[in-house]
């Protein structure tokens, strides 16, 4: 299944101005100053290992700095969520009352990567984008078409065990995220309801709506999570990473306050919402739709 529409894009080899992407691979058709011709991929497109090296080299900062995390949780204003929640949790992704989701800061992002921490800076899990081919990474490097592609995330604990799998299928306007168990069994879905105004999602499982996520401003950075009766049961707050990182990197950071843990599968969908909201929205021109 094609992941991005066919079109002309900057030649990944650098030998020509544009090269034609046919929806699944780069072709021999090139264009220079509006004049089309053919040329084989004389210089091979970057391989997975080379692209991963680029991705790693352009990663800066430390998303797990405990002092930074404490500021994110307890600080006021844009830098923090202003929380005073002193409840202790069970020490796992699904039992902590506060989760801090920090994206790895990259000048150019080829793979989405996040660290997940408790309110004291103890790491609970990592979130990694998986399943991207080298061709898709190159397309992401030279264009913004990744917003239309399928995105797959794996949530892994510190022992390397997969806890959840999240898939945001390719889309045109509205996003959805399929939440699956480690074995691939569907737990539920996070489904975008609108594209104009404050963005809202429904939390669904087995054809039933269990709750919702409601954007609190038009840029959709902060969200309240409600149960089906409209009661707020959790809150997602974006924290400001500083001017330099905002301007020059891709990093986004979120604090998630879970007021009370709900029955399954709603509890898992709440956690999945915190880990996937950035992927669902940010790929759309940095969160505007």
Predicted pLDDT at 12: 76
Predicted pLDDT at 32: 85
Q: How many CA atoms lie within 13 A of 55 on its CB side?
A: 20
> In whole angstroms, what is the distance from residue 229 CA to residue 38 CA?
60
Query: Which among 244, 196, 245, 249 is positioned nearest to 220, based on CA atoms?
Result: 196
Predicted pLDDT at 84: 83
Beta bridge partners of 35: 32
pTM of the model: 0.74
Predicted pLDDT at 187: 98
Q: Where are the domains of the chain?
A: 1-45, 47-282
Mean pLDDT, contiguous 10-residue spans, the chain (289 residues): 65 80 84 87 62 59 80 83 85 96 72 88 91 72 70 91 93 88 97 89 97 81 93 91 44 88 96 88 46
Residues 6+ apart with CB under 8 A from 12: 19, 26, 45, 46, 138, 141, 142
Give all strands (DSSP E) within 33-112, no chain letters.
35-38, 59-60, 98-103, 105-106
CATH code of the region 47-282: 2.40.160.200
Predicted pLDDT at 17: 79
> In whole angstroms, what is the distance from residue 51 CA to residue 49 CA?
5
């Amino acid at each position: 299944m094609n992941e991005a529409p066919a079109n002309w894009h900057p030649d990944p080899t650098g030998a020509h101005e544009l090269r034609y992407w046919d929806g699944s691979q780069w072709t021999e058709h090139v264009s220079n100053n509006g004049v089309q011709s053919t040329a084989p991929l004389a210089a091979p497109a970057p391989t997975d290992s080379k692209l991963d090296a680029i991705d790693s080299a352009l990663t800066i900062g430390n998303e797990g700095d405990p002092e930074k995390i404490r500021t994110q949780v307890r600080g006021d204003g844009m830098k923090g969520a202003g929380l005073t929640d002193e409840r202790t949790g069970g020490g796992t992704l699904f039992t902590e009352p506060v989760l801090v989701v920090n994206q790895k800061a990259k000048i150019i992002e080829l793979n989405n990567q996040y660290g997940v921490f408790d309110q004291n800076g103890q790491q609970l899990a990592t979130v990694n984008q998986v399943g991207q081919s080298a061709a898709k990474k190159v397309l992401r490097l030279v264009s913004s078409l990744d917003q239309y592609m399928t995105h797959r995330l794996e949530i892994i604990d510190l022992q390397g065990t997969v806890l959840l799998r999240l898939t945001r299928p390719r889309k045109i306007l509205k996003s959805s995220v399929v939440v699956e168990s480690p074995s691939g069994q569907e737990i539920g879905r996070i489904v975008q309801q609108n594209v104009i105004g404050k963005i809202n999602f429904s939390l669904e499982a087995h054809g039933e709506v269990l709750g919702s996520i409601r954007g609190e401003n038009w840029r959709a950075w902060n969200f309240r999570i409600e149960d089906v009766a409209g009661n707020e049961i959790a809150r997602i707050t974006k924290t400001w990473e500083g001017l330099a990182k905002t301007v020059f990197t891709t990093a986004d950071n979120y604090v998630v306050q879970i007021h009370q843990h709900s029955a399954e599968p709603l509890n898992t969908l709440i956690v999945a919402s915190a880990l996937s909201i950035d992927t669902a929205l940010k790929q759309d021109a940095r969160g505007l739709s």
